[in-house]
Structure 1
Amino acid sequence: MERYFPAPLVVGQKDEAAPVWPILKQEAGAYEVFAYAFESIDLAPIPGFGGTPPDLLIALAPDGSFRDVRVIAQHEPVFLEGLGEAPLFAFVEQYVGLSARRAIRVGRPNARANGAAPQAVVDGVSMATASTRVINETILAASLAVARRKLGFGAPAQVGLKVEARADLFEPLRFSQLLARGYVARFTVTNGEAEAAFKGSAVEGQSESPPEAALTDLVIAYLNAPAIGRNLLGEARHAALMRELGPGDHAVMVVSAGPLNPLGDDFVLGSVPDRLSIQQEGLTINARDMAIERRGAGMDGLPAGPWTILRIGSQAGFDPAALWSLSEKIVRERGQILVERVARDFATRYALPAALFTRESPDAGPSWTESWRARSVELGLIAASLGLLVPVLVRQRGLVADQPRFGAFRLAFLAFTLLFIGWYAQAQLSIVTLVGLVRAAAATHDLSFLLYDPPSLLLWGFVLVSLVLWGRGTFCGWLCPFGALQELAAWLARPLRLRQIAVPPRIDRALRLVKYALLAAILGAAALASPLADSLAEAEPFKTAITLYFLRATPFVVYGIGLIILNLFVYKGFCRYLCPLGAGLALAGRLRMLDWIPRRAECGSPCQLCKVRCRYGAIAPSGAVDYAECFQCMDCVTIIHDPGQCVPQVVARKRGRVLVPQAVAAE
């Protein structure tokens, strides 16, 4: 803590009840709390996609705003060997100055530049959406825990709160009636009260006015409620004000009836007033002048002095029906050359009847639900594509049996997998998820990190079902973006007529075992909490080619491109020999329920057509299908249903017989 908060700051004694350190700063000879510092892992150990929680150093100011946020440790795969840590450091820097009191969400990169409110949105990081959402949840959860304990406010009950003034409650009221009902509050500070507050300071005794005379006299009114706003402003101006406010925003009018201008002589329209502030639940709420027309406003009885209408954003969690306060800072000065200023705050409370409002309690659910709402379109398109794929694969005598049409469908679907599922939705499944599961099982026992990446979780659910039914092939042959990239590259390279390398059977069998050894090494290192797991996981080129669009260090790019070139000579060589995820799916696929690929007695002896045509080497000389190596390309299914290609059918037709294919058990 002393390294992060060097002199002139002083690290105070750690709180006995919680791992929180007060950071002190000397002011006027005394030490005041500058911030409360803590590590997120002590208060909100939310696992990331590496299976372990990120650890952030957070400094929270007494008003609930972030003084500083820094990364101490993290194991997010995309920030370890992918993008590097610089984008993560820049991401957490955005929190400085924001308030833990507000619901902060992660938007798409450059969201704030496109008009989103900076108090509510922090720019995400391209290719790291899920990881940044986990980190955002970590920061807010840890900070709110400290705010409740040290700052004495109930932020979680306010974040997301929706309170709206009832539009149907209106009756004409005079200004005196508004005051009598408490709809409008009057706040007065006399010269005598101000003098008492400045007693003992260098500016004591400056007032020459009678003690009972008002120094400041303010009228405070919440304008959203028609019973207040329409009476004060008139129907037309109130309607215009409501149109200008955003959904869920609030407007508070402050009018001066006293000699002291609460806005100050140098006040700039549209700014946050230096001398006025609104507090609720112990925290200051951001309230900014609306910079609207100043002339001709107000009903009879409303003072004609300086005034402002303050806008409170919807993300502030402000509850106008609950008790809140308005504070005015009164400043006195002494000296002309070396000016000495002394300030004192005076506050009044204000609350309105709950009957004026409709109140919707915050029920946004866990933070991961925001990820699902934000990516609903992507989820819908992926779900629709899966809904299209299943009947095509199941109805083997339909589109699959029509080789030209099925070939076009397969190419189009692979293009969708690469472009949308992979590069756009960033839903490339990876061995990294299995590493996270192993680490979670060994340490945190928390699988919530999976919920922050909805497209991937949707695909994982589908893949698990398809594993039980068909084996690994549905994912590896149809839904893996890097697999699709290899197949499309090979299709585009067909005019080059590159000669394929025939791997001898003995070497082929030995190479197929490499992926299983790699899988065991990665998961073993993860179980032992070794960082070697992250390094071994780089055997997958998915992060380089799909997540980071090849925008990475040269060795990783060379490796990824090298595997695509290898694929042109040894078809999908990475998938067959090196992919640890494919190895895991192949092992799980042994639990499949169906031997769904039809075979005939003639398959293998004497007919070897399907074996020769299978580019994956998944058909044995006997004609049996090795489902652990099958990528469900459906070429053999097309052949066996095509009377013009299937050799036994050709022979049988010549002899006047009809053959019916049957599914047989795999070897």
Structure 2
Amino acid sequence: MTAGRNGLHPTPWLRRFLAGLVMALLASLPAVAGQLDRAGMEKYFPAPLVVGERDEALPVWPILKQAAGSYEVFAYAFESVDFAPIPGFGGTPPDLLVALGPDGAFRDVKVVSHHEPVFLEGLGSEPLFAFVEQYVGMSARRPIRVGRPNARGSGASPQNTVDGISMATASTRVINESILAASLAVARAKLGFGATHAGLTVGARPDADESLTVSELSARGWVRRLTVTNRQADEAFREAGLTAAGDGPPEAPLTDLTFAYLNAPAIGRSLLGLERFGALMRELGPGDHAVMVVSHGPENPLGEDFVLGSIPERLTVTQGGLAVNARDMAIERRGGAPGLPDGPWTILRITGAAGFDPSAPWTLTERIVRERGQIFPEKIARDFSADYALPARLFIREAAEAGPSWTDPWRARGPELGVIALALAGLVPVLVRQTGLVADRRRFSVFRLAFLAFTLVFVGWYAQAQLSIVTLIGLVRAATVIHDLAFLLYDPPSLLLWGFVLVSLVIWGRGTFCGWLCPFGALQEFVALLAKPLRIRQVAVPPRLDRWLRQVKYGLLAGILVAAAAGSPLADSLAEAEPFKTAITLYFVRAWPFVAYAVGLLILNLFVYKGFCRYLCPLGASLAVLGRLRLLDWIPRRAECGSPCQLCKVRCRYGAIRPTGRIDYPECFQCMDCVTIIHDPGQCVPQVVARRRGKRILPQPVAAE
């Protein structure tokens, strides 16, 4: 270690050594891949199940079970990292073992390995294990989303919603995306569904328009009917031992549906009229589709208790064997075109995320349900379907990439991003204009405490945007394993803050984050306010010991980064030197050793102001190193600073001012106290002396050491 412009920092030879070591590790580490062999698979699928031979083309294992004297496929087992290596917040992809049944249902989902920081000695892995267990019984044929904690208990559909985990929103989204992306890849290859619309965006051609009657539309097959007679229904249910239950003659319709795809102008305008078709297209989102279903038979598939805007339980749209999520649009439903049968009807919305291709054949299915027995009746269901297809000339087909999954958290957390962005926009002019609010000691003190409260409560505890050395560990692991930084996009508030902090490093150095935007740093400042009423005197750390202690954080940073580059779990253990996970992410709800450590640092803060930040924080060390790239020595100084005046040095609780009066920017937390003093003619000693002598002096920036 050698002295830099304003303090000690790693020597050039040490930096070159670490850089060379990291690059060597980058070149030597293998790509991420599944880790289970046959023996590993057999531990997860013991007898009576049998692990078959691994597929020659794909890393998929058939899991067999004996039935009727022979073996049949119970599930296809695979590891998510082999198909969807999406990096988590530890920088490496979570590895999930997925067992997908031949019908597309999840037979089992297990966690093989992960490096998600919030589940490593934080919440513990048990909540993660419980999270993935929710997928068992759900179908890969349906889109599955991560809801809020207890979303299903609050009424969300258990067929396509899993309960999220508090304080682990971003991690659960990554895991959900890993499971679904890997499962869909296997389903397309092994189960044969979901392949018709992959990589395409298909929209109705707006110029393919003509005015047609319902009869003309029916003649072209653009309006279709699904009719089930009493005889057909009785024959379908007779296999289950049910006798005829339909009223009327055998050839009379039990259910009669008329349905059509509405986005095509020639169909939608003809059925709805120009004005209502325009309103429908405006209400549909980009890439969404609308299907009209009119019921004019005795059996109404919507039911009398149907709730507008919900998913009809007895109507299903399928394509390529994949059930498409179709939800009622809850819009006005009257005044159809002449010739359209009378009866209750619905317009089903199919979102663009469903991957529906209206130019390819699809099927409308109605489920008819009857009961058997009287005391404990058993419900028996039979499905009846009708196919639908439109000519390709009605559509525009364009190759497109699937929308990235990280866009969901950006939309969901838009309000939080807006609030943080406004706060940052308000902070910048205060820090830039040093003669404004900063020069007023009382007003600036109120502003600073209010902003720190915002940082602690909103940024930290509410938005969960505490920046951490864990992100740097993730960056190193991502660089050494899969070369993918997409995991950063799953935590929008933190990414917004990282962007601001990196810019501020170039302008002001480390202090903007450490002094204003670190929730744990803000918590320490509020705890330090208790020192005076508690009559706790600050401990003066001897200068030589202080200089030595300040190097500890650099050594800790080096150890963490080297361990991360080497793929060692030691990096996660060393990262626990940060109390951020305990105090901010988990609200002190954690195992007692971690809580005792975090509380101990807060108590230390009463005696040695921000001792953790000054001596132990590895994130602060990384920012201090990067902060040496700053463009400005922005804190004004006078020739009298340091000799004879030592007021700023004495008042600086961070020890960031040298006896010479120069600023040690890597140790400066941008509290602005010295800036307030130098602009205050009542505090700044050189100004006080000059005023007594009838002179006026101006502060001047002084080059840092």
Please report the TM-score for the alignment, with normalisation by the length of structure 2.
Answer: 0.78
Which residue, 603, 611, 628 being the options, matches 1:565? 603
- Structure 1 residue runs of 5 or longer lacking an equivalent are 207-211, 333-340
CA 1:392–1:328: 2 relative to 1, 3 Å: closer
The Cα of 1:316 is off from its aligned counterpart by 4.2
Q: Is the 8 A contact 1:221 1:228 kept in 2?
A: no
| Equivalent of residue 494 in structure 2, options 439, 448, 456 | 456
**Residue 251 of structure 1: how far off its partner (Å):** 5.2
Greater mean alpha carbon deviation, residues 455-464 or residues 178-187:
178-187
State the Cα distance separating 1:65 from its structure 2 match: 3.4
Residues 578 and 268 of structure 1: CA distance in aligned 2, closer, same or farther (over 3 Å): same
CA contact (8 A) 1:184 1:219 kept: no
**1:132 Cα deviation after fit:** 1.5
Superposed CA deviations along residues 583-638 of structure 1, whole A, max 9, x for unmatched, are 11112222222211111121111111111101011111111111111111111111
Match of 2:569 among 526, 531, 535: 531
SS at the partner of 2:224? strand
Is the CA contact (8 Å cut-off) linking 1:224 and 1:251 kept in structure 2?
Answer: yes
Residue correspondence of structure 1 range 10-49 to structure 2 within 5 A: 10-49=50-89
1:83 aligned to 2:123? yes
Does structure 2 conserve the Cα–Cα contact (< 8 Å) formed by 1:87 and 1:125? yes
The alpha carbon displacement at 1:70 in A equals: 1.7
3-state secondary structure, aligned to 1:35: strand
Counterparts of residues 33-182 of structure 1 (less than 5 Å): 33-113=73-153, 116-154=156-194, 157=197, 173=213, 177-182=216-221
- Measured in 1, the distance between the counterparts of 2:460 and 2:75 equals 43
CA distance in structure 2 between the aligned counterparts of 1:623 and 1:286, rounded to whole angstroms: 68
For 2:503, the aligned partner's letter is V
In the alignment, does 2:338 pair up with 1:280?
no
Give the aligned partner of residue 185 of structure 1.
Answer: 224
Indicate conservation of the 8 Å contact 1:418/1:482, yes or no: yes
Q: Work out which of the residue numbers 481, 492, 495 in structure 1 matches 2:533.
A: 495
Q: Which residue of 2 aligns with 1:401?
A: 439
Provide closer, same or farther for how the CA distance between residues 616 and 327 of structure 1 changes in structure 2, counting only shifts above 3 A.
closer
Task: Confirm whether residue 605 of structure 1 aligns to residue 636 of structure 2.
Answer: no
Q: Residue type matched to 1:524 in 2? A: V
Distance 1:302 1:618, change over 3 A: closer
Question: Is the Cα–Cα contact under 8 Å of residues 278 and 286 in structure 1 kept in the other structure?
Answer: yes
CA pair 118-352 structure 1, distance change in 2 beyond 3 A? farther
Give the one of 361, 372, 380 matched to 2:418. 380
Query: Partners of 1:437 and 1:169 in 2: how far apart?
Result: 52
The answer to whether the 8 A contact 1:544-1:557 is kept is: yes
CA distance in 2 between counterparts of 1:389 and 1:651 reads 33
Q: How does 1:76-475 map to 2 (within 5 A)?
A: 76-113=116-153, 116-154=156-194, 157=197, 173=213, 177-186=216-225, 219-222=257-260, 253=293, 278-285=317-324, 314=351, 316-326=354-364, 348-352=386-390, 365-475=403-513
Q: C-alpha distance in 2, partners of 1:119/1:313?
A: 17
Deviation (angstroms), 1:309: 6.8
Output the amino acid matched with 2:487. Answer: F
SS in 2 for 1:539: coil
Per-residue CA deviation, residues 36-65 of structure 1 (Å, 9 max, x unaligned), is 221001111121111111000112233433
Secondary structure of the structure 1 residue equivalent to 2:500 = helix
Question: Which of 617, 632, 652 lines up with 2:655 in the alignment?
Answer: 617
Identity between Structure 1 and Structure 2 (%): 69
1:653 alignment partner, one of 688, 691, 698 = 691
Alpha carbons 1:101, 1:159 under 8 Å: kept: no
CA contact (8 A) 1:262 1:276 kept: no
1:403 and 1:638 in contact (8 A); partners too:
yes
Give the aligned residue type for 1:572: K
1:101–1:317: 8 Å Cα contact kept in structure 2?
A: no
Q: Distance in 2 between matches of 1:30 and 1:299?
A: 58
**Relative contact order, CA 8 A, sep 6+: which one is greater?**
2
TM-score normalised over the length of structure 1:
0.82
Please say if residues 278 and 284 of structure 1, whose CA atoms lie closer than 8 Å, have aligned partners that are also in contact. yes
> Contact 1:285/1:312 (CA < 8 Å) preserved in 2?
no
Change (3 A) 1:634 1:331: closer
Q: Which range moves more in the overlay, 283-292 or 653-662?
A: 283-292
C-alpha displacement of 1:424: 1.2
Note the alpha carbon deviations across 1:335-365, whole angstroms, 9 max, x for none. Answer: xxxxxx9999876421245788899997773
Match of 2:578 among 540, 544, 554: 540
State the Cα distance separating 1:373 from its structure 2 match: 2.0
Which runs of 5 or more residues in structure 2 are unaligned? 1-40, 245-249, 371-378
Any idea what the Cα deviations from partners look like across 1:265-314, whole Å, max 9, x if unmatched?
x999899999986431222346799999xxxx99989699xx99796764
Q: Residue 416 of structure 2 aligns to which amino acid in structure 1?
A: E
Distance 1:300 1:650, change over 3 A: closer
1:473 aligned partner, one-letter code:
G
In 2, the alpha carbon distance for the partners of 1:291 and 1:508 equals 68
Contact 1:624/1:664, CA 8 A, preserved across alignment:
yes
Q: CA deviation at 1:405?
A: 0.9
| Kept after mapping to 2: 8 A contact 1:324/1:350 | yes
Change (3 A) 1:221 1:631: same
C-alpha contact (below 8 Å) 1:158/1:318 kept by paired residues = no
Q: Say whether the 8 Å CA contact 1:489–1:568 is kept in structure 2.
A: yes
CA shift in 2, pair 1:414/1:274, >3 Å: closer
Decide which moves more: 389-398 or 315-324: 315-324
Q: Assess, with a 3 A threshold, how the Cα gap between structure 1 residues 29 and 116 changes in structure 2: closer, same or farther.
A: same
Could you tell me how far 1:153 is from its partner in structure 2?
3.4
Q: Does 1:581 align with 2:619?
A: yes
SS at match of 2:318: strand
366-375 vs 178-187, which deviates more? 178-187
- Aligned partner of 2:5 in structure 1 is none
* Aligned pairs (5 A) from 1:630-641: 630-641=668-679
Comparing 520-529 with 275-284, which one deviates more in the overlay?
275-284
Distance in 2 (CA, whole Å) between partners of 1:635 and 1:358 is 64
2:74 is paired with a residue whose SS is strand
User: Given the superposition, is the C-alpha separation of residues 518 and 89 from structure 1 closer, same or farther in structure 2, using an over 3 Å criterion?
Assistant: same
Change (3 A) 1:136 1:155: farther
Q: In the alignment, which residue of structure 2 is the partner of 1:663?
A: 701
Offset from partner CA, 1:409-461 (integer Å, 9 cap, x none)? 11111111111111111111111111112222222222111121121112112
Give secondary structure in 2 for the equivalent of 1:2. helix
Within the candidate set 631, 650, 659, 1:593 is matched to: 631
DSSP 3-state at the match of 1:3:
helix
CA distance in 1, matches of 2:61, 2:625: 50
Q: What one-letter code is carried by the residue in structure 1 that aligns with 2:498?
A: W
CA distance in 2: counterparts of 1:383 and 1:65, whole angstroms: 42
Cα deviation for residue 326 of structure 1 reads 4.4
CA distance in structure 2 between the aligned counterparts of 1:354 and 1:402, rounded to whole angstroms: 71
Q: Deviation at 1:567?
A: 0.7
Secondary structure at the aligned position of 1:82 is classed as coil
Is 1:493–1:568's contact at 8 Å kept on the other side of the alignment? Answer: yes
CA root-mean-square deviation: 4.7
